[in-house]
Structure 1
């Protein structure tokens, strides 16, 4: 089986499961509700329509980019889960044996999974942007704020967001190779992305040295690639915390390094082991 046939076989296998569309549906509902709700809150506060404590009208700066970046700042967990599950799920359901029997070239199988995860990651990026831009733009327009959809910089953000989501699919495959237990990899991804890294970034924002170190974390690298993050809203009104970012090129490079690192380590360990 050649590399292109392996990729085609991987897509065929994915479309026979419910995983891809279930994740897509949850992503749309989750990001649409989250962006619409928080967009309404922040836009209402900034416009003065929602009264803040003490009558103070906070300024969050340019609201459109961080609201649209919900697509990646929050939504990146979906391509990571997808990439991990298309790999670890084969061990869980014991389909890895017929997969390797049909194509004994394990590198081709891994290459096919990476290609499919990158494509689906970009597809999830389209859906995530549709949800976050719709929710965010409607909230901004409702309170008389500019959604900036005609700005070139906004469309550059959209393109980089798609690239980030595609790279997260690559990272997910690497994690699935490294941690072949489906339950373990799900818990690891959710714990790190939803709790560990956000808390680390929050704690690191209290000093310059820790903030400079935290900018190399995976989520921070993704935000740097995109060029915006909703996490920056926590400091935009008061300016009491330190926020450090890589430039977008180095942010993208760091995501590639993370994906390559976990994939190579996984290949040297679990991917080479015997299957029955």
Structure 2
């Protein structure tokens, strides 16, 4: 397994697109934190701090696509045959991808968190307001956002294994988030709380969002998202083992 993990890391180092994708995450956090401060008339208190850092979790959209690239990207570039010929144990190959892409997504979440903290602290200082570094709600939000990033990368690996077309897999994933959970979810009320993106939102939500009643508790969102992650990880392994490459 160590060799396979090293191979996956080598593959990542030789292509640009995954890193360009993850590089957009700190930019999104910077824009989100700055936009919240500029457009919101609310006082810059601890609840606003956790709300600003909740943008870390929203970068999971990028890590979802990042995970899809792990398998669907290989099918698009026709390197998947060589991968499976060099290591016929397909389950181990997918397992290595799950580990590498989830860890990279978590690291991306950490980087985005550090950028978000720096930007938020700068805005607070500009407003002559002390930044509450010890606020537990803010750190829980950051931790939840990092975990959300890692989980969505693993889910992306499963989606990429199920839908081998790179464009098709990305389109389906984004349509699910935007249409099913974003639009249809509003029509089915509390049931929407149990869907993957909403569960992630509960895990990485700010203090104000947690009290809105529209999301699961943070622990509940984490448990539900862990269940989806495990399901898609198993799906990625079983699908890759049973289906032909061509």
TM range (shorter): 0.7 to 0.9
Q: Alpha-carbon deviation of 1:89?
A: 0.4
Q: Comparing 6-15 with 131-140, which one deviates more in the overlay?
A: 131-140
What is the aligned counterpart of 1:225 among 198, 203, 209? 203
2:206 is paired with a residue of what secondary structure? Answer: coil
1:46 counterpart (34, 42, 47): 42
Higher mean Cα deviation, 62-71 or 191-200? 191-200
- Higher-Rg structure is 1
Question: For the residues of structure 1 that align with 2:226 and 2:158, how far apart are their CA atoms?
Answer: 11
SS of the aligned residue for 1:191 comes to helix
Q: Which residue of 1 aligns with 2:100?
A: 116
Q: Distance in 2 between matches of 1:265 and 1:123?
A: 24
Q: Number of paired residues?
A: 246
Deviation string, structure 1 residues 77-103 (Cα, Å, up to 9, x no partner): 111111111111011111000000000
Higher helix share: 2
**8 A Cα contact 1:39 1:135, kept in partner:** no
- Take 1:14 and 1:61, find their aligned partners in 2: how far apart are those partners? 38
Moved over 6 A (4+): none
SS of equivalent to 2:175: helix
CA distance in 1, matches of 2:182, 2:121: 25
Q: TM-score, length-normalised on structure 1?
A: 0.79
Deviation at 1:9, TM superposition (A): 1.0
Correspondence for 1:22 among 20, 24, 27: 20
Where do residues 1-276 of structure 1 align in structure 2 (5 Å cutoff)?
A: 3-42=1-40, 45-47=41-43, 62-72=47-57, 74-201=58-185, 203=186, 210-228=188-206, 232=209, 243-269=213-239, 271-276=241-246
Alpha-carbon distance change, 31 to 248 in structure 1, aligned in 2, over 3 angstroms: same
CA 1:107–1:266 in 2, change beyond 3 Å: closer, same or farther?
closer
- The TM-score normalised by the length of structure 2 is 0.87
